Structure 1
């Protein structure tokens, strides 16, 4: 008799990867064994979970609902394992963390590298996305969020070091188009525009003391991937507003030139969100503690 939790894990992996073949390769199982686990679930439920074709599988309505519940069951099993491990006093298990893409690549990945050296029994499942993620609804134990938080959040939030931004461009672009000196000058320049779930962000804000100026910008390159805009700036395609820590190496090497030093691009708040629940697991507790120590709100990155 096949273990049902194992069958659920395999079912979820088939759904995530889109085919038995991809799931079998990922799980190092034969396609026949993967199919056997799915068939066992369907037999137990008396219902079809997947529409099968020669190349790809898709969820039935029953399969979609069952997949959601499987995720909850497996998370509950993982929490039970973690709570049991608490009696041994050793943080262990898989910790699912969601983080914005640029922040994750630039500063969180080095943090995780050092974190896992200290806690070798914790496996960090790092999900990089700029979509709005909720810790409890999206099956993540911890979420790092950039920007203002909703007022009705029911999870714990902890402030981290602010997300500092700078404006810059390549010397080749500036030699051809000139240096902007005031925010309004940007309206005559080619700007590299970031696009989030609400559309292109074409209003850039600048401050100098108590003076704040919003400027409407435009450009021929628009992307929802900050690394694409970074590469475009290096190629001399326009002016970029981006995360200081990601751009600092290119600014120091003079591949990018920092612009309008008297004008500041307002920082964005960064928060760690998590659901502590009735009992906080050891793995989450040490992650929260270490992250807050590494990214204290008052801390300033070395320039």
Structure 2
């Protein structure tokens, strides 16, 4: 027995004053309506309705039960309406995970625009380098970069591609000159990420070829912001994902070196649990980010050649 369905049928029978009237209102057969009420009475072990050939009337127990049933049905309808409204209208708290470099350089600028467009959504944003389990850790959506891992069952939408490029400040270039070929990098001071695979060589790529260029590190750090400050101060050549360099390139604080060469191309992925039954807040964020990055196969952050 579907008890909730039987309760709805019972309340409708009383409202309509007859089994036939309830059957018409609910678009059911008389037999189905009668069976639902009979099953409910059997489940409760008591009679709810007095039946005569001329009319129906509630028993004393039936009257008490009806009052509770009507309140239960109202509460359920209110809960359904609340969830339905939430799923359609963006509201509530949206928990976002993001890789720090993209979060600081790109997402931080985009979130105020999203918040203005969707004022009922509260943003809860976490920036972290470690891999996260979105579902287990309670995130609605995540922005993952490059080799960061996420559950294969997640929906993953590429927002854009980012190129890892070489750059330096105008001051450094004025003092030391700009490398004309990848091999020239070996004669320059380098600002290096603290990854073992980059400690002694940079894999510079061009025209589907790759060259492991030996380097001399002037500074090593696990923090991109520290390396950026050193590059701005003219300490050496830095490698960095293009999405972190957009403003520096536009302002001329940093200059891209060896255009056409790079150290890799990484994907910027937006990841979320499911397309089905997506909440309004998540759908609004997915649509917003997708509109901001209409060409997922391109790098929108590199200066025009």
TM bracket (short chain): 0.5 to 0.7
Distance 1:187 1:138, change over 3 A: farther
Q: Aligned pairs, how many?
A: 221
Distance 1:179 1:212 in 2: 20
Distance 1:165 1:102, change over 3 A: same
For residue 210 of structure 1, the aligned residue among 208, 211, 215 is 208
Q: Does the aligned pair in 2 maintain the 1:82–1:281 contact within 8 Å?
A: no
Distance 1:276 1:223, change over 3 A: same
TM-score by length of 2: 0.64
- For 1:68, the equivalent position in structure 2 comes to none
Q: Kindly state the Cα deviation for residue 245 of structure 1 after the two structures are TM-superposed.
A: 3.9
- For 1:259, the equivalent position in structure 2 comes to 257
Distance 1:300 1:217 in 2: 27
Distance 1:171 1:290 in 2: 36
TM-score by length of 1: 0.64
- Within the alignment, does 1:272 sit opposite 2:231 as a pair? no
- For 2:190, the equivalent position in structure 1 comes to 191
- For 1:107, the equivalent position in structure 2 comes to 106
Distance 2:256 2:270 in 1: 29
Q: Which runs of 5+ in 1 are unaligned?
A: 1-80
Q: Deviations over 1:103-128 (max 9, x none)?
A: 11222122211111111111111112
Larger radius of gyration: 2
Q: Which runs of 5+ in 2 are unaligned?
A: 1-78
Distance 1:122 1:257 in 2: 39
- Within the alignment, does 1:240 sit opposite 2:238 as a pair? yes
Q: Kindly state the Cα deviation for residue 219 of structure 1 after the two structures are TM-superposed.
A: 1.3
Distance 1:254 1:110, change over 3 A: closer
Q: Does the aligned pair in 1 maintain the 2:203–2:212 contact within 8 Å?
A: yes
- For 1:130, the equivalent position in structure 2 comes to 129
Distance 2:167 2:102 in 1: 18
- How do residues 27-106 of structure 1 correspond to structure 2 at under 5 angstroms? 84-87=82-85, 89-106=88-105
- For 2:285, the equivalent position in structure 1 comes to 287
Question: Relative to structure 2, which stretch is displaced further, 229-238 or 107-116?
Answer: 107-116
Q: Does the aligned pair in 2 maintain the 1:169–1:239 contact within 8 Å?
A: yes
- For 1:145, the equivalent position in structure 2 comes to 144
- How do residues 151-230 of structure 1 correspond to structure 2 at under 5 angstroms? 153-195=152-194, 201-202=198-199, 203-230=201-228
Q: Does the aligned pair in 1 maintain the 2:166–2:237 contact within 8 Å?
A: yes
Q: Deviations over 1:262-290 (max 9, x none)?
A: 42343211111111286322211221122
Q: Kindly state the Cα deviation for residue 228 of structure 1 after the two structures are TM-superposed.
A: 1.1
Distance 2:108 2:248 in 1: 19
Q: Kindly state the Cα deviation for residue 236 of structure 1 after the two structures are TM-superposed.
A: 1.1
CA RMSD of aligned residues (A): 2.8
